[in-house]
């Protein structure tokens, strides 16, 4: 494989020992900066009450316990809206939002990548431009749109805008450009396959890494979505919002808030671990041409 | 499906691409006007429009129209209750001449973006480059460690615990224990510390999409180029980076820049969560916060739209400028 050849050729190139050492040291420093806070959350969540408040503060945990996690459920069972409702909301929003984005984006990506129709140039140009600003800009005017549609304080206000998030579409279109050969599609078309059939049965199976990436991106974004300006009702709010309420409870809830943060981050991290190689494969075609 | 003849023509056109396609089109088009030809092409590709329609309609409703509408509303006094009055540039004049806090917000936003954008871009690239030489298993593990903070939601709030303003905060506890300070520092309530700390936390969460794109880009550089380079006198990894790697992954470098710049303007949520709303003496107040204040809380939609329009122009402008600069690299 190419990777082995790389290593062999590094030897040929006579890498300096100083460079290797320097890079290793930098990697360790950066790794510590990135990893220690994550480790600290996990350790905090395992500390019994007395260890959370020792002086001077201790980084590690002496007697690890799952007490904080069970406290979290007790704490939440007292709340007005049951804890399970927040989780249900987050799962519902994440699943429906991701599903819609996947279907709409892949159809659109296929047409933009594989059909030469008038307007596709400027349409794709607009998609690229949309990557250059974030949704803060449109939040206020979207509020007006949502009121006109009557979607304020409904799931729709969160789910439907997620369907037209552009990063997934962009990545999928770029991946299709390079992974789905035009000649395969052409022969299918000449055999009389409809455009929709070639899309669903020929192009889609060839871009599995891209749709996994889109699912992961969309899911992560929705899973981590917190309070929204479109939602007032407590029973429509998300898991992330509930957690932020626990955390704002202050020092007394240090253990419970660390435990809830750990619960919250397990899902996206697990998803990434499973799909990492597919995401990296998709990213290899993510480039912008100048 | 349209009639066989036109279909065949475009088949060859699509396959051969480039000049050949242009020639075929020209022949095809010679007997009709441009509009008529476009209309014919549009009818022939009906199915393409059917495929893009659901996405594009929503994209227009929730992204394109809001931006245009903000621009229009920014010239009015809309407040969600009364019919908007046209006031031309008044909102913009008020922003720059009468709103001291907006000037602070612009300054903070630019400082924030000018530091986090380039730093996160460089960090993403350098880290991706460093781990590129590791074995695939180790590389996957290190990638996870670096990438995890950016996908773990509100996990950055742990920084609030570490820098908490009482003696139980990890940093304060250590500093007091070591005798460096005698009373705890209110890190997120202190004008000197709040911006730098927010920047550090933002950077901590910033190894995201650009980072992954660089990792993938480095993997796809053609290895024969390195061998050819070694023959042609590339002596060390720095020359290899400059003469072979960077030019080969220019598309990823451009895409990464877009992600880093857009990200560098999107850290408002982190600042709110850590420093409060508003932050002490507006020391970490950014344009995003000003927008939220006027749009989401005071419902001065016209004024907020002017802020949103300026923010939009700043973000697009920064992106186009940097992309222009980067595309010059290696030419």
- Residue from the list A111, A138, A273 with its beta carbon closest to the beta carbon of B144: A273
pTM of the model: 0.87
- Residue from the list A2, A226, A287 with its beta carbon closest to the beta carbon of B255: A287
DSSP string, chain A: -HHHHHHHHHHHTT--HHHHHHHHHHHHHHHHHHHHHHHHHHHHHH--HHHHT-SS--SS-SS--SHHHHHHHHHHHTSSS-HHHHHHHHHHHHHHHHHHHHHHHHHHHHHHHH---TTHHHHHHHHHHHTTS-THHHHHHHHHHHHHHT-TTSTHHHHHHHHT-HHHHHHHHHHHHHHS-HHHHHHHHHTT--HHHIIIIIIHHHTHHHHHHHHHHHHHHHHT----TT---GGG--HHHHHHHHHTT-GGGHHHHHHHHHHHHHHHHHHHHHHHHHHHHHHTT-PPP-
Q: Is B296 on the interface with A (CB under 8 A)?
A: yes
Q: Where are the domains of chain B?
A: 4-73, 93-328
Residues A120 and A245 reside in one and the same domain:
yes
Q: What pLDDT shows up at residue A154? A: 93
pLDDT (tens digit per residue) in B265-298: 988 888 988 888 888 888 889 999 999 899 888 8
How many alpha carbons fall within 13 Å on the CB side of residue A95? 6
Q: Is A194 on the interface with B (CB under 8 A)?
A: yes
Q: What pLDDT shows up at residue B29? A: 60
State which residue of chain B sits closest to A6, comparing Cα positions.
B223
Residues A259 and A149 reside in one and the same domain:
yes
Over range A246-250, report the average pLDDT.
73
Interface subset of B 54-113, CB within 8 angstroms of A? 54-56, 58-59, 61-67, 69-70, 73, 80
Q: Do the Cβ atoms of A144 and B11 come within 8 Å?
A: no
Residues A250 and A142 reside in one and the same domain:
yes
Q: How far is A92 from chain B (nearest CA, A)?
A: 18
Cα separation, B181 vs B172, in Å, equals: 8
Q: Do the Cβ atoms of A132 and B258 come within 8 Å?
A: yes
**CATH number of the B93-328 domain:** 1.10.3720.10
Residues A152 and A57 reside in one and the same domain:
no
Residues A29 and A95 reside in one and the same domain:
no
Number of continuous H segments (helices) and E segments (strands) in chain B = 19, 0
Cα separation, A187 vs B38, in Å, equals: 26
Residue A147's alpha-carbon distances to A143, A150, A271, in angstroms, are 6, 5, 35
Is A5's pLDDT higher than 50?
Answer: no
Is B25's pLDDT higher than 70?
Answer: no
Which residues, including other chains, have CB under 8 Å from residue A58's CB and lie 6 or more apart?
A51
Q: What pLDDT shows up at residue A111? A: 95
Q: Is A49 on the interface with B (CB under 8 A)?
A: no
- Residue from the list A30, A107, A167 with its beta carbon closest to the beta carbon of B51: A107
pLDDT (tens digit per residue) in B42-74: 888 889 999 999 999 999 999 999 999 999 999
Q: List chain B residues with CB under 8 Å of A10.
A: 133
Residue with tokens 């003849």: B5
Is A155's pLDDT higher than 50?
Answer: yes
Q: List chain B residues with CB under 8 Å of A287.
A: 213, 217, 249-255
Residues A187 and A228 reside in one and the same domain:
yes
Q: What pLDDT shows up at residue B222? A: 85
Q: How far is B107 from chain A (nearest CA, A)?
A: 18
Per-residue confidence band for B1, with pLDDT thresholds at 50, 70 and 90: very low
Q: How far is B249 from chain A (nearest CA, A)?
A: 8
Residues A132 and A41 reside in one and the same domain:
no
Is A9's pLDDT higher than 70?
Answer: no
CA A246 distance to own-chain centroid: 23
Q: Is B244 on the interface with A (CB under 8 A)?
A: no
DSSP string, B59-126: HIIIIIHHHHHHHHHTTB---SSSPPPB-TTHHHHIIIII-HHHHHHHHHHHHHHHHHHHHHHHHHHH
Q: How far is B158 from chain A (nearest CA, A)?
A: 6
Q: What is the largest CA-CA distance in chain B?
A: 88
Is B27's pLDDT higher than 50?
Answer: no
Report phi then psi at A26, rounded to 5: -60, -45
Cα separation, A198 vs A204, in Å, equals: 8
Examine residue A9 and state whether it is found in any structural domain, yes or no.
no
Over range A109-134, report the average pLDDT.
93
Cα separation, B199 vs A71, in Å, equals: 33
A79: alpha, beta or left? (left if phi > 0; alpha if psi -120 to 50): beta
pLDDT (tens digit per residue) in A255-274: 888 888 898 899 999 999 99
Q: What pLDDT shows up at residue A8? A: 47
Are B316 and A137 in contact by the 8 Å Cβ rule? The answer is no
Residues A90 and A36 reside in one and the same domain:
no
Residues A49 and A181 reside in one and the same domain:
no
Cα separation, A139 vs A156, in Å, equals: 15
- Token pair in block for residue A49: 């009450």
User: Comparing C-alpha atoms, which of B216, B201, B203 is closest to residue B128?
Assistant: B216
Q: What is the count of residue pairs from A and B with beta carbons less than 8 Å apart?
A: 345
Q: List chain B residues with CB under 8 Å of A176.
A: none
Q: List chain A residues with CB under 8 Å of B291.
A: 136, 139-140
Q: Is A53 on the interface with B (CB under 8 A)?
A: yes
Residues A36 and A159 reside in one and the same domain:
no
Residue A87's alpha-carbon distances to A84, A93, A146, A160, A263, in angstroms, are 5, 10, 24, 19, 11
> Which is higher by pLDDT, A40 or A242?
A40
Q: Is B325 on the interface with A (CB under 8 A)?
A: no
pLDDT (tens digit per residue) in B192-206: 899 999 999 999 999
> Model ipTM?
0.88
Cα separation, B186 vs B184, in Å, equals: 6
DSSP letter at B279? P
Q: Do the Cβ atoms of A272 and B148 come within 8 Å?
A: yes
Residues A164 and A41 reside in one and the same domain:
no
Q: Do the Cβ atoms of B174 and A287 come within 8 Å?
A: no
Which residues, including other chains, have CB under 8 Å from residue B58's CB and lie 6 or more apart?
A104, A160, A161, A163, A164
For residue A30, what are the domain limits? 16-65
Instruction: Give the mutation candidate from A132, A229, A230 for the B interface (greatest B CB count, under 10 A).
Output: A132
CA B47 distance to own-chain centroid: 33
User: Comparing C-alpha atoms, which of B286, B264, B301 is closest to residue B70?
Assistant: B301
Q: Do the Cβ atoms of A117 and B220 come within 8 Å?
A: no
Number of domains making up chain A: 2
Per-residue confidence band for B104, with pLDDT thresholds at 50, 70 and 90: very high
Is A171's pLDDT higher than 90?
Answer: yes
Is B183's pLDDT higher than 90?
Answer: no
Mean pLDDT, chain A, integer: 87
Cα separation, B315 vs B71, in Å, equals: 15
Q: Is B223 on the interface with A (CB under 8 A)?
A: yes
Are A172 and A103 in contact by the 8 Å Cβ rule? The answer is no
Cα separation, B106 vs B252, in Å, equals: 30
Report phi then psi at A203, rounded to 5: -70, -50
Over range A123-145, report the average pLDDT.
90
How many alpha carbons fall within 13 Å on the CB side of residue A78? 5
Is B242's pLDDT higher than 50?
Answer: yes
Q: What pLDDT shows up at residue B331? A: 56
Residue with tokens 């050969």: A181
State which residue of chain A sits closest to B36, comparing Cα positions.
A118
Q: Which of A8, A41, A65 is the last residue of a domain?
A: A65
Cα separation, A111 vs A68, in Å, equals: 51
Per-residue confidence band for A228, with pLDDT thresholds at 50, 70 and 90: confident
User: What CATH number should be reported for the domain holding residue A234?
Assistant: 1.10.3720.10
Cis amide leading into A56 (omega within 30): yes
Which residues, including other chains, have CB under 8 Å from residue B89's CB and lie 6 or more apart?
B75
Residues A147 and A110 reside in one and the same domain:
yes
């Amino acid at each position: 494989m190419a990777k082995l050849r790389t290593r062999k050729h590094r030897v040929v190139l006579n890498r300096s020992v100083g460079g290797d050492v320097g890079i290793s040291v930098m990697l360790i420093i950066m790794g510590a900066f990135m990893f220690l806070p994550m480790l600290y959350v996990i350790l905090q969540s395992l500390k019994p009450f007395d260890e959370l408040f020792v002086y001077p503060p201790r980084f590690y945990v002496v007697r690890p316990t799952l007490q904080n996690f069970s406290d979290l459920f007790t704490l939440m069972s007292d709340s007005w809206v049951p804890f399970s409702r927040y989780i249900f909301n987050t799962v519902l929003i994440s699943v429906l939002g991701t599903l819609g984005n996947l279907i709409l984006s892949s159809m659109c990506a296929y047409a933009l990548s594989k059909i030469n129709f008038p307007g596709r140039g400027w349409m794709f140009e607009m998609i690229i431009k949309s990557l250059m600003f974030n949704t803060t800009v449109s939040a206020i005017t979207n509020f007006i749109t949502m009121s006109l549609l009557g979607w304020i304080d409904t799931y729709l206000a969160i789910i439907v805008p997620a369907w037209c998030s552009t990063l997934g579409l962009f990545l999928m279109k770029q991946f299709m450009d390079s992974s789905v050969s035009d000649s395969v599609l052409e022969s299918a078309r000449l055999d009389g396959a409809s455009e929709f059939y070639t899309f669903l049965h020929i192009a889609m199976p060839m871009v599995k890494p891209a749709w996994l990436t889109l699912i992961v991106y969309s899911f992560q974004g929705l899973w981590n979505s917190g309070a929204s300006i479109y939602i007032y009702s407590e029973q429509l709010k998300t898991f992330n919002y509930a957690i932020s309420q626990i955390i704002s409870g202050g020092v007394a809830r240090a253990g419970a808030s660390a435990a809830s943060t750990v619960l919250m981050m397990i899902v996206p991290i697990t998803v990434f671990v499973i799909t990492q190689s597919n995401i990296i494969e998709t990213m290899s075609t993510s480039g912008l041409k100048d | 499906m349209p009639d066989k003849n036109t279909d065949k023509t475009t088949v060859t056109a699509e396959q051969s691409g480039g000049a050949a396609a242009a020639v075929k089109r020209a022949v095809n088009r010679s007997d009709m006007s441009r509009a008529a030809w476009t209309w014919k092409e549009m009818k022939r590709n009906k199915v393409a429009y059917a495929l893009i329609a659901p996405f594009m309609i929503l994209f227009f409703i929730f992204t394109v129209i809001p931006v245009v509408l903000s621009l229009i509303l920014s010239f009015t006094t809309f407040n969600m209750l009364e019919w908007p009055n046209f006031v031309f540039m008044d909102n913009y004049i008020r922003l720059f001449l009468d709103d001291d806090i907006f000037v602070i917000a612009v300054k903070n936003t630019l400082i924030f973006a000018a530091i986090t954008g380039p730093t996160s871009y460089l960090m993403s690239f350098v880290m991706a480059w460093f781990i590129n030489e590791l074995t695939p298993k180790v590389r996957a593990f290190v990638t996870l460690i670096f990438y995890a903070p950016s996908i773990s939601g509100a996990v950055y709030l742990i920084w609030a615990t570490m820098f908490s303003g009482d003696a139980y905060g990890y940093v304060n506890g250590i500093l007091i224990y070591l005798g460096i300070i005698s009373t705890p520092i209110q890190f997120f309530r202190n004008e000197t510390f709040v911006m730098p700390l927010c920047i550090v936390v933002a950077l901590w969460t910033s190894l995201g999409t650009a980072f992954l794109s660089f990792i993938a880009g480095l993997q796809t550089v053609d290895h024969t180029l390195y061998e050819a380079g070694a023959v042609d006198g590339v002596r060390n990894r720095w020359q290899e980076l400059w003469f072979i790697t960077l030019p080969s992954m220019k598309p990823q470098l451009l895409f990464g820049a877009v992600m880093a710049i857009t990200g560098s303007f999107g850290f408002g949520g982190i600042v709110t969560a850590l420093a409060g709303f508003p932050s002490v003496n507006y020391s970490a107040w950014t344009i995003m916060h000003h927008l939220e204040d006027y749009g989401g809380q005071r419902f001065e939609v016209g004024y907020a739209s002017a802020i949103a329009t300026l923010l939009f122009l700043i973000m697009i402008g920064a992106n186009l400028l940097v992309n222009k600069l980067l595309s010059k690299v290696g030419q």
